Amino acid sequence: MSDLSSLTAGRLVAGYSNGDFSPIEATRAALEQAEKVQPHVNAFVRIDGDDALAQARESAERWSRGEPQGPLDGVPVTVKDILLLRGKPTLRGSWSSSTDGPWEEDAPSVARMRDAGAVFIGKTTTPEFGWKGVTDSPRHGITRNPYDTSRTAGGSSGGGSAAVALGAGPLTLGTDAGGSVRIPAAFCGIFALKPTYGRVPIYPASAFGTLAHVGPMTRDAADTALLMDVISQPDARDWSQLAPPHGSFREAVKKGVRGMRVAYSPDFGGRVEVDPAVAAGVRRSVERLEELGAHVEETDPGFEDPIEAFHSLWFAGAARVTQYFTDEQREKMDPALREIAEDGASRSALDYLAAVDVRMALGKRMGVFHEKYDVLVTPTTPGTAFGAGLEVPEGSSYRRWTEWTPFTYPFNMTQQPAASLPCGLDGDGLPMGVQIVAARHRDDLVLRASHALYEAGAADVPAPALAGSA
């Protein structure tokens, strides 16, 4: 990986300020990486080189005058092709989406990045409507893992995770309604945060309702804090947004973990079978937190698997997003998406409200749990990346992606902030992820604990060999 394409957003901005290099050079480096790795991993649905370089030249001019537009001025970024990007089609991985314009709006988070001077280099792949925990779609094909292209990058924000891991921009925006930034972050060795619901405004509203969060995917927790300071600002189009945060996330991450109360649940009370290498990696992360001054207790939140309630909510969303499809459009859908949409359409309003009851009870349990513990630490996923193009690991008895993601989707139901960061490589050289969860509105605690692990060197993993390939 070239030097500039390997730098974090924070280091790029510092370099621009010092005159070490320009946004034009950094953008060219990111574009070169994007073009180089695209044939191998299929991270992008579009790469906009000319537009990106035009934006970079404008940024360079601002920096030359000492008048940067904002904290991301000149930083190359990408956007998941679920989120609106002004002037570009948003296809959502589906043949049902038209390329016809005019595409006049940015999503709120995209608009805030544009206001801050970010340079948009492209849109990244997603499964159809972001419906599953891996990234492949009938329209755009399979997205592959940067560490082993025979494996999945995870999903549904798999394109963004592969792009960041491979140096095609240090920042990307993803969406997460059941693990969709955390799963690919774990599989691709990067950092991702699912913020508290409402912390980052969303528009248009997701068909999956208040399960769906917008979140950053970056190379480390400091870059996510930087991006959160930008995208957490209000947008009148989202009636469910929270008030602006008090203080800066960039300042909050510096406070460390001394005295922090950490609950460590290695397997949800024995309910989840975790790969031994992943379990060992998560334990090492917890031990490092303890060495840094946190108070660690091995315990469990004690809830039963809410998978059936999640399915009622999730499948209803799938039914809603495809409700008005023609027979021809349904024929072109991902067959498994068509299957869950039909399931969702067959469920009643009472089924949905029963699932809401489960969700509320789970939220109460976690709220009480966090009166005693600042953060909960678990694996992000029980295992590492499996075969590309599959919804579930080969050889498993699973039917749906939710069966191998028991650590992620419960915290979409509760709307809590949750992050994934690397905790080493397994015996096959594949990244493993550790998840850190906090109470609603305490995104700062998640970022503090994550940043402490990065600062201690506990979250470092080697870059994928593909990043430096010819």
As annotated, the active-site residues are: 80, 156, 180
Q: How far apart are CA 223 and CA 244, in angstroms?
A: 19
Provide the 8-state DSSP code for 5: G
Phi and psi, residue 76, nearest 5°: -70, 130
Q: How far apart are CA 111 and CA 116, in angstroms?
A: 9
* C-alpha count within 13 angstroms, C-beta hemisphere, residue 167: 26
- How crowded is residue 21: how many other Cβ atoms within 10 Å of its Cβ? 17
Closest-CA residue to 412 (of 205, 116, 195, 228): 195
Dihedral angle, C-alpha 363, 366, 371, 375, nearest 10 °? -130
Q: 108-127 as b/e, with b when 16 or more CB fall inside 10 Å? A: bbbbbbbebbbbbbbbbbbb
Q: How far apart are CA 204 and CA 186, in angstroms?
A: 27
> Two tokens at 128?
């159809």
Helix (H) or strand (E) holding 76: strand 76-80
Alpha helices in 232-348 (DSSP H): 249-252, 276-291, 307-321, 327-331, 335-346
Q: How far apart are CA 86 and CA 91, in angstroms?
A: 13
* C-alpha count within 13 angstroms, C-beta hemisphere, residue 133: 28
For 67, residues 6+ apart whose C-beta sits below 8 A from its C-beta are none
Query: Cβ(300)–Cβ(268) under 8 Å?
Result: yes
Residue type present at position 213? H
Query: Cβ(390)–Cβ(152) under 8 Å?
Result: yes
Q: How far apart are CA 408 and CA 404, in angstroms?
A: 10
